Amino acid sequence: MTAPVARNGDVSFWYGQIGGPPARRAALAGNRSVDVCIIGAGYTGLWTAWYLKTLQPDLSVAVVEREFAGFGASGRNGGWQTGGFSWSREKYLKAGGTRQGVIDMGRALRGTVDEVIRVTEAEGIEADIRRTDGLVVACTPAQLQRVRDTYEEETAWGAPRDRIELIGGAEMRERINVRDAVGALVTHGVARVQPAKLVRGLAAAVERLGVPIWEGTAVTGLEKGRVTTDHGTITAPVIVRATEGFTAGLPGQGRKILPLNSAIVVTEPVPDRVWQQIGWNGYELLGDASHTYSYAQRTADNRIAMGGRGVPYRFGSKTDVRGRTQAATIDKLQGILRRLLPEAADLPMAHAWCGVLGVPRDWCASVGYDRASGMAWAGGYVGLGVSTSNLSGQTLADLILGRDTDLVRLPWVNRQVREWEPEPFRWLGVHGMYQLYYRADAQEARSGGRRTSVLAKIANRLVGR
């Protein structure tokens, strides 16, 4: 039985915690000229502005945002700051990267956890950041094999031995009492954050550096040196696209990035007697190794936030209305919570919401700058953007300022990725993939989960994952 949810949408619970969605800053008033115009005030756009202004204070930089800073995934996510690799090392290699380049990229990504903490401390941003471990729990032998494979892959690609380890089911249950745990992959050196506090704090920091953020200003046209909005035109030799899951709404960008839905439910504060049964004293990031995948955090005010897929994709790359999600999705997430943590099954639900993350055709993030056209972009993080976006900001600043650093040579820089298919093939592909994942999980559960279902492998091939 699904428990009723007190609130659905209105962007996210994280905003509920800080007094609701914020009042908007002023919109663009008439035509303006700047050195760099950034489209989108999520982590990517704001980190880019922060590094540009920190490195070159006399540069004029402006951010244009259709809604308010942090309206997108940056104000709605699961708060996993992992420094993880997004996503396939083999693909970066095949696309012309070197093995050392891919290893260096992994190191740079891991470094973003410390870097974000350094900047938030320096800027006085209070975002409930807590250093912790990530635990990806396996509940069947097939899942255990997959976490072992991940461990092997990570170590083969240069993850230091003190970054990851495998633990058994009993040790996992001592940390978090996941009912059927048979083992887990532990990742050290990650952090839990309150996403909206982070993005709002970052926006304020960027503003203090002298960057205007024109909110309530929608970009309607994009060409060399010129950004057209519903409030005027901005002339800028450099234009940065930082619109991630919303990119399809920009003219000429309809098939570059697919908006994949992810949704979260959050409980009311969990009573101490339930925590005594569950454990979770280290506030670890908790995920599972099913094909459909879920992610959870214990919030600073001691609730459980549990996220997962739900309805994966809306036809025609449509996005949700202020985070409102479907009843079927809420049902699925509560089912996952009950399965993993039966002690939490009867907890009242405070809030449910959803958002879009950005998926490029090859499921690998990229960052780039074309000096000839002045166009720069970053994204396609497929759900790992909380940390990856920080590396985007650092890298875009170096590219735009012409700094010859190690970052501009990493293999995700200036990659060309083919576009998604037109509809209805896009919709059919993504829905087909998730149907196969659900069936693969069900098949593994029925058969005692001894090995990974072949359906999951077919699903991955279907959309080039």
- Residues of this chain that interact with ligand FAD (CB under 6 A) are 39-45, 64-67, 71-74, 76-80, 218-219, 242-246, 249-250, 262, 264, 295, 307, 355-357, 379, 381, 383-387, 389
Nearer to ligand FAD, 312 or 383 (CB): 383
CB of 70 to ligand FAD, least distance (A): 7
Region at 405 (left for phi over 0; alpha for psi -120 to 50; beta for the rest): beta
CB of 118 to ligand FAD, least distance (A): 18
Nearer to ligand FAD, 114 or 346 (CB): 114
CB of 358 to ligand FAD, least distance (A): 7
CB of 206 to ligand FAD, least distance (A): 12
Nearer to ligand FAD, 42 or 449 (CB): 42
SS (H, E, C) the chain: CCCCEEEECCCCHHHHCCCCCCCCCCCCCCCEECCEEEECCCHHHHHHHHHHHHHCCCCCEEEECCCCCCCCHHHCCCCEECCCCCCCHHHHHHCCCCHHHHHHHHHHHHHHHHHHHHHHHHHCCCCCCEEEEEEEEECCHHHHHHHHHHHHHHHHCCCCCCCEEEEEHHHHHHHECCCCCCEEEEEEEEEECCHHHHHHHHHHHHHHCCCCEECCCCEEEEECCEEEECCEEEECCEEEECCHHHHHHCCCCCCCCEEEEEEEEEECCCCHHHHHHHECCCCCEEEECCCCCEEEEECCCCCEEEEECCCCCCHHHCCCCCCCCCHHHHHHHHHHHHHHCHHHCCCCEEEEEEEEEEECCCCCCEEEEECCCCEEEEECCCCCHHHHHHHHHHHHHHHHHCCCCCHHHCCCECCCCCCCCCCCHHHHHHHHHHHHHHHHHHHHHHCCCCCCCHHHHHHHHHCCC
Nearer to ligand FAD, 137 or 144 (CB): 137
CB of 182 to ligand FAD, least distance (A): 24
Nearer to ligand FAD, 102 or 356 (CB): 356
Nearer to ligand FAD, 81 or 143 (CB): 81
Closest alpha carbon to 289 in 434, 183, 443 = 183
CB of 453 to ligand FAD, least distance (A): 25
CB of 22 to ligand FAD, least distance (A): 12
CB of 260 to ligand FAD, least distance (A): 8
Nearer to ligand FAD, 183 or 245 (CB): 245
Nearer to ligand FAD, 177 or 389 (CB): 389
Q: Which residue is nearest to ligand FAD (CB)?
A: 385
Nearer to ligand FAD, 44 or 452 (CB): 44
CB of 242 to ligand FAD, least distance (A): 5
